[in-house]
Chains A and B, each alone.
Chain A
Amino acid sequence: MNPQQQDIPSVGADLEQETTGVPQPDGREEETLTGGLRRLWPNFRQATFRSGRARTGRGRALKVFANLFLHIHSTRTHLYSLRFWTTAGLGIAAAASFVVAAVTGVLLMIYYTPSTALAYQSIKDIHYTVPTGRFIRNLHRWSAHIMVIAALLHAVRVFFTGAYRRPREFNWLIGLALLAVTLGLSFTGYLLPWDQLAYWAATIGSNIAGSPRELTDALGVTQHFDPGGFLRHLLLGADYVGQPALTRFYLLHVMVLPLALVGLMGIHFWRIRKDGGLARPSDAQLRAEGLLPHPGRANPTATVFEPGPKKTYGLMALVRGRTPPVGKGPENTAPSWPRALRAEMAVAMTVLAICMLLSLLADAPLKEIANPQIPENPAKAPWYFLGVQELVSYSAFMGGLLLPGLVVLGLALIPFLDRKTEPAGRWFVPRPHGRRVFVRSLIVGTLLVVGIEALAIRLGWIRGWGRGTAMEPWLANPPQLLIIFVNPATVLAALYAAWSLWIYRRTRSTRLAAIALFTCILAGFVVLTWIGTVNRGPNWHFYWSPGDWPAH
């Protein structure tokens, strides 16, 4: 019953056998109009669904195989891939929240008008007069947040399970691009309501884009070479956030970025198949660790086929490496229909249910109409950029552009520096060192970021130092270049890099060094995001909670 043990006949022939429930029309009846009408429904059903209930393994395979949307799966899925903690469903969650956002986004587009004069009112109309308009907007907002969270966690999962390793390097890069597009989608959507929140978040974002000026100004070359001004202009189409910016953000949000996302998603999914399904250890290893069913009465097919260790089974001309069904062993797999699809649907519906619950409980914010005369205080970017904004408060260029750029570059380099292929697909490989390095790096990374932030918050940065000493006048007004290159962001980055290099020196493992650095960055991201979101109030002063903010 395994698909590859049979010759795969032409698709049409297969389907005919599958559609046993449909009575075969005899020729005479078929020719008559009444006969055609009488058989309209069964014929239509056969033409549309092509198959009835899939009762056999082959039928299930065909369900997947003969469907445009399902055939991105292989017909069978490895049991290990179906385990919840292999993926935690995060990739599917990100994709599902995108579908929710896309559908609700199209509904919002029916009423939204991308004009500075009308945008705000059109959102108000969506809130107040469009049937369930507020609910739909809430869904859009919440699904966007969930998409960002899921995409971030998905990247974390892929990293810690080592699933980026050869031959999946390219898909890791695609994933990074998807993460960037996701953040871009979320950020461009932020401006569209044209309220105070939107206006000032976009202003901050564009100022970060313009922050290379900080460096060029300090070097005195802005007049000749002004990449910051160029970036800012490219984003806004003007010197301030206005109609040209709204038009650009709208275009990016509803067309350019979604198309890019869909395209990249297609490649991302397709690569999973081409790279042999989800990363996983070998069957032998899994079985040794009790993660696969042992052969026995309950699993008669568990060891039908054990690939020979020195043989390759690939269709050499067609596919790089070994083909999934042959090399990886068809045993210990389950038909994708319905097992994998049901698991995916469960994740997707859970995401939808969470979105709906949040949408019923909390409304998407809509503040006063945008007013360039009244800056929000504090003006904050969307939450996922608040860690960056915290660093930006020391140096816009370093914290907002260069360091995030270096982080992205570093992430992209990981699979090219860590060239091992095995073992992958298990958390914190190589075990047990991976987990140990992770825990230690988590502690070190958290302590470092908290320490540096505490220092900067308590004592200020450079300007507040050396009170009453001979250095005071110089420290009170340090050169801009010093601030750009020595600030909490760069110091933190340097310490993280040092920690990672130390791990490398001790272990001689790029993977462990990568775990150290990645974990530190993760800890830094979480802590900084928390500080930026919760602890920063008016004038970006530190408060233990927003309740302590002075009343305006």
Chain B
Amino acid sequence: MSESNRPDPRDPGEAPSGRAAKIVLLLASAATLAMLVLAMVRENFLSEWRWHQRTYRQMLQASDDPRQRELGDAVAFELRQVDLPQFGTTDRCVSCHLGIDNPAMAGAKQPYAAHPGDYLANHPVGDYGCTICHRGQGAATNFHEAKAVDAHWDYPVLPPGLTQSSCGICHDAGSPLMAEHAPKLALGRRLFEDLGCQSCHRLHGVGGQLGPALDNEGLKTRHTQPMADVVGEPTLANWLVQHFADPQAVVPGSRMPPPHLTARQTEALTVYMLSLQDRDLPQTYVAGDLVTGWDRRLHQRTTDGATLFANYCMRCHGEGTYGSYDKFFERFMPAVRGPGLRAMADETYLRRQILDGRPGTLMPGWNAQTGGLTDAQVDALVNYLKAGDGGPVQTLRPAPTPLAGGDSARGGQLFAQLCSACHGQAGEGGLGPALSNPSFQRAASDELIAATIVNGRADTAMPAFQRPGTAGLTDAEVRDLLAWLRTLALKGK
């Protein structure tokens, strides 16, 4: 019987699974076993952190200091971690950076060196871990994935020059404390205000809407930003730096004017951007100066017209004392503090313009909902505009009275001859402002419009039409024009 179970390999009919199966089984089992051993060796002997722990232990044991030798003997080979559920972080960096809070390791080679500076005195590793400040993937137990630049992790390790951004998580970037200890962060914040970034970008509920809101800018990721044209590693930090140098190079079609910064300013502004993080900060981590900052932001907002104008208006209007052509935006910017407008416009008109903006143009509304300014701040701005540069206002020739009763058909012909070159065929605007804009139509009184036609606006491109030596419109013609302009309110609705 045993004979029949032993296949004859020459027999074509014998199923090959006899001997072949034996060999395959043997080889596969041996390979499986070998790979299991390999996996075990890799896990238990070849991992980076074990190597570093052994080295660290040897470094300490070779020390002259008996205390250090004692510490060295006590080094256990195990993964270490700082678990901070309130931040959602588990930082295993200390598995390799073993000397991080050992003063004797100051200046030692990485990863054994002590943390430079005195930051750990106030921010012990056990309470803060590492990744809150440095970012990176704290859970990882090898360097490549801990740095996480290209390891499917949203927040790669920050370049050392940008670490100050993380101070802004628990501290107020505008506080004296930060000015002293995190100068880049403080400078970045100052630049943010001085450059008038909030003219277009909303932050903490205040700002224009031409650009994206920046409340969570620091926690954006490579996947939220267009990285195609970023040179080097596709990180948010690189994106910000290169974007500040040339916005259109990184975001094709961007309407952001290049801010023209020095390298230091670029770094500082990047640091400030990275510090903008929408986090639920655990109460115990809120620093005193942050509370002061909140208080200032919520309850002590500036009502200094000049500051407000600088922060929110100056980016487009400049000093605002004369109308100018903005080459970047390719349009005239009205002289909002010019002698002409100051002479003609009343406070109600100015306030309406600030509160509502001009829909369809670059000018956003600045009321509490859209722009985030308080009533007191808008008042302060109105007063600031009204005061102008302190110089004399335009002397006005009185507008015809009464203003009602014009013939809009004739007004339309006049408009086509005299006004449409700048204001557009249907008052839709061109070089000059859009007169059909409903916001303008709502806010501007008949008197204001008539006064503007009659006198023009000093220091802007708008000429006078009823003064001696000008087109010399009759009072009736002014009325007709006004009547026609008012028909635009209905059309432009």
Contacts and interface: CB of A to CB of B under 8 A. Distances in A.
A366 to B, nearest CB: 6
23 contacts: A79-B15, A121-B90, A129-B141, A132-B39, A290-B13, A293-B8, A298-B11, A334-B18, A339-B15, A340-B17, A345-B21, A346-B20, A349-B29, A353-B28, A353-B29, A356-B31, A356-B35, A368-B153, A371-B223, A373-B224, A550-B228, A552-B226, A552-B227
Contact of A345 (B13, B18, B25): B25
A290 B12 contact: yes
B141 A292 contact: no
Interface of B: 1-5, 8, 11-18, 20-22, 24-25, 28-29, 31-32, 35-36, 38-40, 43-44, 79, 81, 88, 90, 92, 139-141, 152-154, 221-224, 226-228, 234
A337 to B, nearest CB: 11
B276 to A, nearest CB: 17
A69 interface: no
Nearest to A197: B152
A58 to B, nearest CB: 10
Contacts, number: 137
Which of B40, B92, B152 neighbours the largest number of chain A CB atoms within 10 Å of its CB? B152
Interface residues of A, number: 58
B17 to A, nearest CB: 4
Nearest to B153: A368
A357 B21 contact: no
Contacts of B222: 552
B43 A132 contact: yes
A353 B226 contact: no
A423 to B, nearest CB: 18
Given A121-B90, A128-B92, A129-B79, A135 B39 contact: yes
Contact of B24 (A121, A292, A350): A350
Interface of A: 1, 55-57, 79-84, 121, 124-125, 127-129, 131-132, 135, 195, 287, 290-294, 298-301, 334-335, 339-340, 342-343, 345-347, 349-350, 352-353, 356-357, 359-360, 365-369, 371, 373-374, 550-552
A299 B4 CA distance: 6
Which of B8, B44, B88, B139 neighbours the largest number of chain A CB atoms within 10 Å of its CB? B139
Contacts of A132: 39-40, 43
Contact of A83 (B8, B16, B31, B92): B16
Nearest to B223: A374
Contacts of A1: 1
Contacts of B2: 55
Contacts of A373: 224
A121 B139 contact: yes
Contacts of B36: 356
Contact of A349 (B5, B20, B28): B28
Contacts of A350: 24, 28
Contact of B92 (A121, A129, A356): A129
A524 B12 CA distance: 37
Contact of B154 (A335, A356, A368): A368
B14 A293 contact: yes
Contact of B21 (A121, A127, A342): A342
B25 A346 contact: yes
Contact of B13 (A121, A292, A369): A292
Q: Which 7 A-B pairs have the closest CB atoms?
A: A82-B15, A349-B28, A293-B13, A343-B17, A346-B25, A346-B24, A356-B35
Contact of A335 (B5, B39, B139, B152): B5
B17 A368 contact: no
Contacts of A291: 12-13
Nearest to A340: B17
Nearest to A83: B15
A288 to B, nearest CB: 11
Contacts of B79: 129
Contacts of B38: 360
A346 B4 contact: no
Contacts of A359: 39
B35 A360 contact: yes
B227 A551 contact: yes
A356 B32 CA distance: 7
Nearest to B89: A121
A293 B227 CA distance: 68
A124 B154 CA distance: 14
Contacts of B141: 128-129
B145 to A, nearest CB: 8
A349 B25 contact: yes
